[in-house]
Amino acid sequence: MSLPPDFKWGFATAAYQIEGSVNEDGRGPSIWDTFCAIPGKIADGSSGAVACDSYKRTKEDIALLKELGANSYRFSISWSRIIPLGGRNDPINQKGIDHYVKFVDDLIEAGITPFITLFHWDLPDALDKRYGGFLNKEEFAADFENYARIMFKAIPKCKHWITFNEPWCSAILGYNTGYFAPGHTSDRSKSPVGDSAREPWIVGHNILIAHARAVKAYREDFKPTQGGEIGITLNGDATLPWDPEDPADIEACDRKIEFAISWFADPIYFGKYPDSMRKQLGDRLPEFTPEEVALVKGSNDFYGMNHYTANYIKHKTGVPPEDDFLGNLETLFYNKYGDCIGPETQSFWLRPHAQGFRDLLNWLSKRYGYPKIYVTENGTSLKGENDMPLEQVLEDDFRVKYFNDYVRAMAAAVAEDGCNVRGYLAWSLLDNFEWAEGYETRFGVTYVDYANDQKRYPKKSAKSLKPLFDSLIRKE
């Protein structure tokens, strides 16, 4: 029994991935609606137009959460359902607000604690068209703060707020590789616009400012009466040296995490960007004004951690190309001795390696002074799962083992290493729209039959988490 009695556990989702109903009740388009309409951007040519139909099935989703024994649920709000055009002077859509207010009321009535993410990549498309979205610091930060305030006021019952989900993905995949909306990249065969060497660093900076403004607003105007907490969720992989005898590979392991996680966490905890980033990127990495340092530093009540996989890291020599975002290194699945880091999954980037989770929890805890951590996403796809017969899909022993190994690694980090982990939200409650991979990749603990009215079938993994947490959480 190594986890505290008040430990929160459950499942996570995101609005564009599950809601559907993109044209219902006054919702405006997001950059993902626009991106999905461009031929070739999504693997199977699909979109989130219907997805899991969860906008219309909140009752069903809550019943599923109850059936699985979860005490918490992380979901995101669609900004363009609240303000269809996104901006602080644009009309507010009361129907959108009413939907989420009722959903939170129903969750709480069912004994499930809501964790609300304000932004999970689905920027209102009108803001992208109006002023370049994330690229405009003043406008974007002001509009995000306004949207955040509307939600804080509307849902005082929520005690756990997350400002942004994985800003690394918005910045790098949205503005360097062009793999995610809005698809900016220097590669003119993929996009007519974009500067992969500069735009991602501007976007990351502007997201930090917007995050900090929302946190300041919450702390000053809502927290005194509501008593909740607010933070940001960052993503990053565990790292192991390709050659454990090579100091340059060992150093590159830290640099990889710094370029992924500390890019956002260091300004929040220390008021500055990592030295390794400044050294490589120079003036392409924006500078914080003294006012911005004061705003951003300390703007986290907890650390939201999304984590899935690990890599062997091999340093590179020579001058990195201008569009490099890793930190002048290679990420590999095999080390110098031919050891494989973990088995294949459906996701090209994901290989299970549970010890890496414990290692990264320790790395983050030591660097940032043992903050309160909520694991806001953790999960896996299965190779070929989408092509299996239903009976086989429901016996997802690979995912059961993944959760068992990772949750136990986390519990060991708490019990033996002193890490302050207070919650775990598995990704994901449902198979859903997996962004650029469309519906070909499944991460859900519940099978969704897209061809037959989005019918839900809980898999073995769905039912495995309650007994696992029951065995690990101390009774009061």
pLDDT 10s digits, 28-77: 999 999 999 999 999 999 999 999 999 999 999 999 999 999 999 999 99
Per-residue pLDDT 10s for the chain (476 aa) are 899 999 999 999 999 999 999 999 999 999 999 999 999 999 999 999 999 999 999 999 999 999 999 999 999 999 999 999 999 999 999 999 999 999 999 999 999 999 999 999 999 999 999 999 999 999 999 999 999 999 999 999 999 999 999 999 999 999 999 999 999 999 999 999 999 999 999 999 999 999 999 999 999 999 999 999 999 999 999 999 999 999 999 999 999 999 999 999 999 999 999 999 999 999 999 999 999 999 999 999 999 999 999 999 999 999 999 999 999 999 999 999 999 999 999 999 999 999 999 999 999 999 999 999 999 999 999 999 999 999 999 999 999 999 999 999 999 999 999 999 999 999 999 999 999 999 999 999 999 999 999 999 999 999 999 999 999 999 98
Nearest-angstrom CA–CA distance, 373 and 422: 6
Nearest-angstrom CA–CA distance, 244 and 237: 18
Candidate list 19, 145, 166, 385, residue with the active-site label:
166
CA 153 from chain centre, in angstroms, equals 24
- Cβ proximity of 291 and 311 under 8 Å: no
Buried b / exposed e over 17-40, threshold 16 CB at 10 Å, is: bbbbbbeeeebbbbbbbbbbeeee
pLDDT reported for residue 107? 98
Query: Helix, strand or coil for residue 408?
Result: helix
pLDDT reported for residue 163? 99
Q: Which domains does the chain have, with CATH numbers?
A: 8-238+261-308+347-472 (3.20.20.80)
Does the annotation mark 109 as catalytic? no
Nearest-angstrom CA–CA distance, 475 and 381: 32
Does the annotation mark 377 as catalytic? yes
**Tokens linked to 229:** 């907490």
Nearest-angstrom CA–CA distance, 228 and 230: 7
pLDDT reported for residue 449? 98
Query: What number of CA atoms fall less than 13 Å from residue 207's CA on the CB side?
Result: 30
Kind of pairing between the strands at 310-315 and 329-332: antiparallel
CA 100 from chain centre, in angstroms, equals 20
What pTM did the predictor assign? 0.98
Candidate list 145, 377, 385, 437, residue with the active-site label:
377
Exposed, middle or buried by CB within 10 Å (0-12, 13-18, 19+), for 82? Answer: buried
Interval 114-155: pLDDT, tens: 999 999 999 999 999 999 999 999 999 999 999 999 999 999
pLDDT reported for residue 476? 84
Kind of pairing between the strands at 455-458 and 446-449: antiparallel
Interval 221-235: pLDDT, tens: 999 999 999 999 999
DSSP 286: P
Buried b / exposed e over 382-404, threshold 16 CB at 10 Å, is: beebbebeeeebbebebbbbbbe
pLDDT reported for residue 313? 99
DSSP 345: -
Sequence-distant (≥ 6) Cβ neighbours of residue 322 within 8 angstroms: 196, 197, 284
Task: Note the helical H segments in 330-447.
Answer: 354-367, 390-394, 397-415
CA separation (Å) from 8 to 18, 106, 117, 120? 22, 18, 16, 21
DSSP 173: I
